[in-house]
A and B are shown apart, each in its own frame.
Chain A
Amino acid sequence: MIRQSEQVNYEVDNHNMVVHLPKELDHHNCLTVKNNTEQIMDETYINRIIFDFTHTHFMDSSGIGVLLGRYKRMMGIGGEVAIYGVNERIKRLLHLSGISKLIRQYETKEQAVRG
């Protein structure tokens, strides 16, 4: 199942959901990502969310908020959040905020899906 909305694609396969993030992840774009992922999680049984940062070159603290929100929800049901394709800049933001300790980072989609 693939859903599309405002340059954000969602792939749901079994219990995994891959969220292909937009070029810029700020407060404006975060609202779309948040609402869509919540809706999909309500309709399906997902215990693993994988965020694809391959095409994302800008993120601010709003992006951290979205990751944190999804992490909390996954923790509540014993699931997990993973990310892949993160550039050096965004890695630094994840590190500064401390969220890099909570979320697993992978290099490629295959690795992230395999877990």
Chain B
Amino acid sequence: MICVKGILSGYHESEGDIMMQEQLQASIKSETFKLEMESKSHNEEFARVVVAVFMTRLDPTLEEIEDVKTAVSEAVTNAVIHGYQGKEGKIYLEVSAKDKTLCVCIRDEGVGIEDIAKAMEPLYTSLPSGERSGMGFSFMEAFMDEVLVESKPGEGTTIKMKKTMGQDPFE
């Protein structure tokens, strides 16, 4: 009985193995992680380092890692400074990797942006006294393939960014 069971399960295992492998390959192709953190300036470094470690599975170049780190740093800094204006709040980070493309979504439930086009202009800052360079969105756009900003005053801001590895124009 045990023997038969063994043979049977052995038979199923080989079929199951193929299925498992297929599932595994599918899951390698697309993976997601989500993170919720306090709106604190020390989390700017935490967020960019976490994303940098996650993206290594896409086999990026050092340049690509630095690009993404800078963009994530800008987006989280925006949430801390502008979204929550130094007050308490939560920042939500969702990152997914599919094939060679990294998607990063950074969301806050802060004050939101009145005029998105203006906010994205190089050198524009809503906080001239805060010694901000106004280059945050410009850097995000320079280093990522795609930057999408959704925002509503009083409801918060969501920044979605994409970058596909292996197509760095500077290489």
A interface residues with partner B (beta carbon < 8 Å): 24, 26-28, 30-31, 34, 58, 60-62, 64-66, 68-69, 89, 93, 96-97, 99
Contact = CB atoms under 8 A, between A and B. Distances in A.
Contacts of B81: 27
B87 interface: no
Nearest to B63: A89
B135 interface: yes
Given A27-B41, A28-B44, A60 B70 contact: yes
Contact of A61 (B45, B66, B69, B139): B139
B101 interface: no
Given A60-B139, A93-B139, A26 B44 contact: yes
Contacts of A97: 133, 135, 138
B139 A96 contact: yes
A89 B68 CA distance: 13
A64 B133 contact: yes
Given A30-B131, A58-B73, 20 more contacts: A24-B45, A27-B81, A28-B41, A28-B45, A31-B41, A34-B131, A58-B69, A58-B70, A60-B70, A60-B73, A61-B74, A61-B133, A66-B131, A89-B63, A89-B66, A93-B70, A93-B139, A96-B135, A96-B138, A99-B133
Contacts of A66: 131
B5 interface: no
B43 to A, nearest CB: 9
Contacts, number: 63
Contact of A64 (B42, B69, B80, B135): B135
B83 interface: no
Query: In terms of DSSP, what is the predominant structure of the interface of chain B?
Result: helix
A96 B131 contact: no
A93 to B, nearest CB: 7
Contacts of B135: 61, 64, 96-97
Interface of A: prevailing SS: helix
Contact of B44 (A27, A34, A68, A69): A27
Nearest to A88: B63
B119 to A, nearest CB: 13
B136 interface: yes
A29 B42 CA distance: 9
Contact of A68 (B41, B74, B133): B133
B20 interface: no
B29 interface: no
B57 interface: no
